[in-house]
DNA sequence: AACGCGACCTGCGAGC
DNA sequence: TGCTCGCAGGTCGCGT
């Protein structure tokens, strides 16, 4: 569910509440939410308890909290041979982070201890007391496509910052290293994106959703960006002119910034910020979810055109048949 | 390399 | 009332 703007809303909300605080205890209430943490709940908790949160960093839809060890009092779970993992790796443990991916329905909520557990509460982190701040950071996830795990921080491939945080983040969470920079990243390179786009043999929307090519864009903002750029989702990427590619990337950036201003897109209580509030960008959507409604751009020009919904990549795509015509015979 | 599909999950609304 | 079906913001891995 959450795409870049929704994750960024969470990042911004989270940072003022957690930065500088120490994780004092961890409850894993559903192990499925840490399935990407291969060594299990004990190791997960052992890595977090006693660690101080340094920042909250995001690239695309991935969010991570770089950690600083308070003291080496929480060794990792032993290996199969009974040797502590960090002892095998050497005396200095590599820097780690608490990684979060919200999947389709994940939420990170700051809550006071008095607040009853949410129905789909999966993981609870208790934080060191801080004046006027909630004690708990809760991970709530209905569909369990998201999750938390501890990962190493590694240098980036291009030498630039790993992601967007409050302070410079020179490293990147290992599991986010395979994804490209997102359009809101100051180090995003359009030239490099366009070069890679042109050698792909695929359709434009598939490329926009490929997190390895450009990250942060999901089904909603892909349709919105294509609508704003007046391009069809099936447009072959190897026929895209530079100006057209620039148009769709600029559109993606613009629509995501607009959504950020509105606090993100929510259709229901599944997407909320860290305080439990919904965003209201759904009212500003021009394509997504507007099947059989008039295309607003065409209507403004005095043309009646109804938005169309089609199945594409096993999900819905919304287009205006008039201002986003389907490419003919692979040409544009 | 690209693509289609299933898997991973729960819940909601529509239709019968 | 209750059943089944289709659908939902994402990612990963497998087969072809």
| Angstrom distance, A86 CA to C1 C1' | 59
CA distances from A92 to A85, A88, A95, A133, A168 (A): 11, 10, 9, 33, 22
More reliable by pLDDT, A141 or A330:
A141
Q: List bases in chain C with any atom under 7 Å of a protein Cβ.
A: 7-12
Q: Same CATH fold, A190-319 and A4-176?
A: no
Q: Which of residues 48-67 of A touch strand C (CB under 7 A)?
A: 60-62
Residue A73 confidence (pLDDT) above 60 = no
% of chain A at pLDDT higher than 70: 92
Q: Is A3 a catalytic residue?
A: yes
Closest nucleotide (CA of A30 to C1')? Answer: B9
Contact partners, residue A323, CB within 8 Å, separation at least 6: A227, A230, A295, A297, A298, A305
Q: What does pLDDT average to over chain A?
A: 92
Annotation: CATH topology of A4-176: N-terminal domain of MutM-like DNA repair proteins (3.20.190)
- The DSSP secondary structure of A91-122, one letter per residue, reads SSPPPEEEEEE-TTTEEEEEE-TTSPPPTTEE
CATH number of A190-319: 1.10.8.50
* In the predicted structure, residue A195 carries a pLDDT above the cut 90: yes
Structural domain boundaries in chain A: 4-176, 190-319
């Amino acid at each position: 569910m959450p795409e870049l703007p929704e994750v960024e809303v969470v990042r911004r909300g989270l940072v003022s509440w957690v930065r500088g605080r120490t994780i004092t205890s961890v409850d894993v209430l559903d192990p499925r939410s840490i399935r990407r943490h291969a060594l299990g709940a004990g190791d997960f908790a052992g890595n977090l308890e006693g660690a101080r949160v340094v920042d909250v960093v995001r690239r695309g839809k991935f969010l991570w909290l770089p950690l600083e060890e308070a003291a080496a009092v929480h060794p990792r779970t032993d290996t199969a041979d009974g040797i502590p993992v960090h002892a095998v790796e050497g005396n200095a443990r590599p820097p780690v982070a608490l990684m979060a991916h919200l999947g389709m329905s994940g939420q990170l909520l700051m809550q006071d201890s008095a607040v009853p557990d949410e129905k789909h509460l999966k993981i609870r982190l208790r934080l060191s007391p801080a004046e006027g701040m909630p004690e708990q950071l809760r991970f709530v996830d209905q569909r369990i496509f998201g999750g938390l795990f501890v990962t190493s921080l590694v240098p980036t491939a291009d030498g630039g910052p790993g992601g967007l945080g409050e302070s410079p983040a020179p490293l990147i969470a290992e599991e986010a290293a395979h994804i490209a920079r997102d359009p809101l990243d100051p180090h995003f390179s359009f030239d490099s994106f366009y070069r890679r786009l042109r050698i792909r043999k695929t359709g434009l929307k598939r490329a926009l959703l490929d997190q390895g090519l450009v990250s942060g864009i999901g089904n909603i903002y892909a349709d919105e960006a294509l609508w704003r750029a007046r391009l069809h989702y099936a447009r072959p990427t190897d026929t895209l002119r530079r100006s057209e590619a620039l148009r769709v990337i600029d559109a993606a950036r613009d629509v995501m910034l607009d959504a950020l201003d509105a606090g993100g897109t929510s259709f229901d209580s599944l997407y909320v910020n860290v305080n439990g509030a919904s965003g209201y960008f759904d009212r500003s959507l021009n394509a997504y979810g507007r099947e059989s409604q008039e295309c607003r751009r065409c209507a403004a020009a005095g043309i009646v055109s109804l938005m169309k919904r089609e199945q594409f990549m096993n999900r819905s795509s919304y287009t205006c048949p008039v201002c986003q015509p389907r490419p003919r015979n692979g040409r544009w």
